[in-house]
């Protein structure tokens, strides 16, 4: 990839679509693998993307992923229309969850999603407006070689 | 490498006496299948892959947060989220415990993703205790 080259793609995610959950993250993972990025970087992006995708499916009505790939970084902006998050500090706390019983039966909703996105990102921003939606921005540097 | 290779040969030779395992030997998927007396639901898949460790959980949130790449996932969750989570976290194989068998659709999805899946009649606890002695502890 040239220094100034970049690639962008948008993905739409429907709230409540548990059947299709993970499809977008798998697509992103395959794309990054094809580009030959290191497996640690690909894995971190895949995990962060899946957590974000599940959050849209579980809590929002609709969401849009904007993926940007440059030689230096991978950035995903997730914007959803949904109930938003009233208290972001609380939502960022490990173990805090507003998931329903149904979500927990599917193996999710343990309150680890947002902290895990932050853990896997080199840069993480979150803003939310109650009754409007939530915006996440996660950036992972392509040269990032974090310990496992 | 001799200390690894030697028990490797003994372990898989068997000579009709069944499989022998030794602490510290490198475990491959075939060993795990034998230890849990499991059934491979994706028969065409390669069982010669090395497995550096095991992670056991029904909670995919925990798998996404704590599992190491290359590990085998033991779970009682048999829906497609187990397969997708495993695939996204670079899991080597899934072992479904307690005699649970996922739908054919889920098995097909695992096959598409080149992910071996095994079913064992053992409980989570029994499967973990059978496997634990062959894997060193992995600090998180």
- Residue-wise pLDDT for A39-75, tens only, equals 999 999 999 999 999 999 999 999 999 999 999 999 9
CB pairs under 8 A between A and B: 68
Taking Cα atoms as reference points, which of B59, B94, B83 lies closest to residue A94?
A: B59
Closest CB to A46: pick one of B63, B81, B88: B88
More confident position, A106 or B15: A106
φ/ψ (deg, to 5) at A112? -110, -10
Give dist(CA A123, CA B37) in Å, integer. Answer: 45
* This prediction's pTM: 0.86
Helix (H, G, I), strand (E, B) or coil at A144: coil
Confidence of residue B3 (pLDDT cuts 50, 70, 90): very low
**Residue keyed to tokens 């070689």:** A145
Strands A73-81 and A133-141: antiparallel
Q: B69, A112: Cβ pair inside 8 Å?
A: no
Closest CB to B64: pick one of A19, A47, A109: A47
pLDDT at B16 over 70: no
Say if residues A51 and A113 touch (Cβ distance below 8 Å).
yes
Q: Tell me how close the Cα of A69 comes to any Cα of chain B, in angstroms.
A: 19
Report chain A residues whose CB lies below 8 A from the CB of B90: 39, 43
* pLDDT at site A100: 87
Fold of B2-132: 3.40.1390
Average pLDDT over chain B reads 85
Q: A112, B62: Cβ pair inside 8 Å?
A: yes
Closest CB to A148: pick one of B59, B68, B79: B68
Domains assigned to chain A: 7-141 (3.30.565.10)
Report chain A residues whose CB lies below 8 A from the CB of B65: 112, 115-116, 119
Report chain B residues whose CB lies below 8 A from the CB of A25: 84, 88
Instruction: List residues of B whose CB lies inside 8 A of any A CB.
Output: 58-65, 68-69, 77, 79-82, 84-85, 87-90, 113
Taking Cα atoms as reference points, which of B99, B101, B46, B59 lies closest to residue B78?
A: B101
- Across the beta sheet with B72-75, what order do the strands follow? B39-40, B117-119, B93-96, B72-75, B54-56
pLDDT at B22 over 90: no
- Across the beta sheet with A7-14, what order do the strands follow? A7-14, A62-69, A73-81, A133-141, A123-129
Q: Tell me how close the Cα of A143 comes to any Cα of chain B, in angstroms.
A: 19
Give dist(CA A3, CA A72) in Å, integer. Answer: 8
């Amino acid at each position: 990839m040239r220094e100034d080259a970049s690639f962008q793609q948008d993905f739409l995610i429907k709230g409540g679509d548990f059947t299709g959950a993970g499809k977008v993250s798998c697509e992103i993972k395959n794309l990054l693998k094809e580009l030959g990025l290191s497996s640690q970087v690909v894995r971190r992006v895949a995990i962060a993307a899946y957590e974000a995708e599940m959050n849209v499916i579980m809590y929002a009505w609709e969401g849009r992923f904007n993926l940007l790939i440059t030689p230096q970084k991978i950035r995903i902006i997730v914007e959803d229309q949904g109930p938003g998050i009233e208290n972001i500090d609380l939502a960022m706390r490990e173990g805090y969850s507003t998931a329903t019983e149904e979500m927990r039966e599917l193996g999710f909703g343990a309150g680890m999603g947002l902290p895990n996105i932050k853990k896997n990102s080199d840069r993480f921003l979150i803003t939310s407006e109650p009754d409007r939606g939530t915006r996440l921005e996660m950036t992972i540097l392509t040269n990032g070689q974090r310990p496992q | 490498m001799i200390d690894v290779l030697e028990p490797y040969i003994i372990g898989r030779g068997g000579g009709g006496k069944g499989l022998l395992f030794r602490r510290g030997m490198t475990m491959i998927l075939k060993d795990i299948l034998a230890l849990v007396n499991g059934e491979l639901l994706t028969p065409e898949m390669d069982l010669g892959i090395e497995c550096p460790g095991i992670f056991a959980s029904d909670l995919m949130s925990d798998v996404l947060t704590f599992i190491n790449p290359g590990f085998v996932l033991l779970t009682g969750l048999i829906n497609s989220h187990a397969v997708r989570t495993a695939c996204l976290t670079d899991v080597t194989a899934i072992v479904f415990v307690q005699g649970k068998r996922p739908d054919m659709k889920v098995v097909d999805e695992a096959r598409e993703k080149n992910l071996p899946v095994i079913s064992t009649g053992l409980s989570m606890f029994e499967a973990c205790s059978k496997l634990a002695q062959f894997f060193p502890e992995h600090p998180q």
